Amino acid sequence: MKTEITLYCPCCKGTNIRKNGTKSYGKQNYLCKDCHRQFVGDHNLTYRGCHSQADKNIWKMTVRRCGIRDICTITGYSRDKIQAALKRNQHQIIPKQKHYSTLEIDEFHTFIGKKVNKVWLIYAYCKRTGEIVAFTWGKRDLTTVLQLKQRLKELRITYDRIASDDWAAFLNAFSDMPEHWVGKQHTVGIEGNNCRLRHRMSRAIRRSCCFSKSLFYHLKVFNLGFFYINYDTI
């Protein structure tokens, strides 16, 4: 009984493939006729970290609350492989629309290395579309909130009203808004999304031994999380 395997080019995902000799270590070599990429089929790989879907698997596990050590244990990938995959991810969120009736804003506490080394996420969320519209990172102060306001302006996002808690920085930064709803009853959507962030990413949990050691990987992981929340895919 023969087993048929459909080969996909790891570069262009095409199926116009032919055999192209063997590698020096004896593995069958294949050539994509469309983009001319040469590769070894996933079915014939000794180290699973070379699998064409390895990066995507790592990204999926990252947004399903797995830390680097967890991914190493489950997949057998090396730590360097996982960090390289996180480094390669270029996921960025794009607002789904240009005008929103209401944007909820809130601050979200994270840390790098030590719990005293706090890095705050300040972001805008739309409950109706269920998306993170814009965000910025920094200290928990007025400057970071103003950066969020500027980011919304750069994205050419317009909105009728802002909803937030009674933190003075929010009140001052958006004092020019004709409508500013203040109170926890108006930020149910973004508070629920805060819970979703902590549920999806281990680095977002307040009490956890899983944390970022560098700002670079911290931002890479959260970019993945934002993309997954907005589009439900990686």
Alpha carbon of 14 to those of 2, 10, 50, 91: distances in Å? 23, 8, 18, 23
205-234 average pLDDT score? 88
Model pLDDT, residue 1: 47
The pLDDT, as a whole number, for residue 164 is: 98
Helix (H) or strand (E) holding 125: strand 114-126
What is the predicted pLDDT for the residue at 224? 95
Res 62 pLDDT > 70: yes
Question: What is the reported pLDDT for 52?
Answer: 65
**CA neighbours within 13 Å on the CB side: how many for 54?**
23
Model confidence at 50: pLDDT above 80 = no
pLDDT of res. 205: 80
pLDDT digits (tens, 9 = 90+) for 117-159: 899 999 999 999 999 999 999 999 999 999 999 999 999 999 9
Per residue, what are the HEC states of 175-199? CCCCCEEECHHHCHHHHHHHHHHHH
Strand duo 38-39 + 28-32: pairing: antiparallel
Contact, 210 vs 115, CB < 8 A?
no
pLDDT at 48 over 80: no
pLDDT computed for residue 177 by the predictor: 95
Q: What is the pLDDT of residue 113?
A: 86
In this predicted structure, what is the pLDDT of residue 190?
98
CA distance linking residue 158 with residue 101, whole number of Å: 8
pLDDT tens for each residue of 27-39: 888 899 999 988 8
- Average pLDDT, integer, range 186-197: 96
The whole-number pLDDT of residue 7 equals: 82
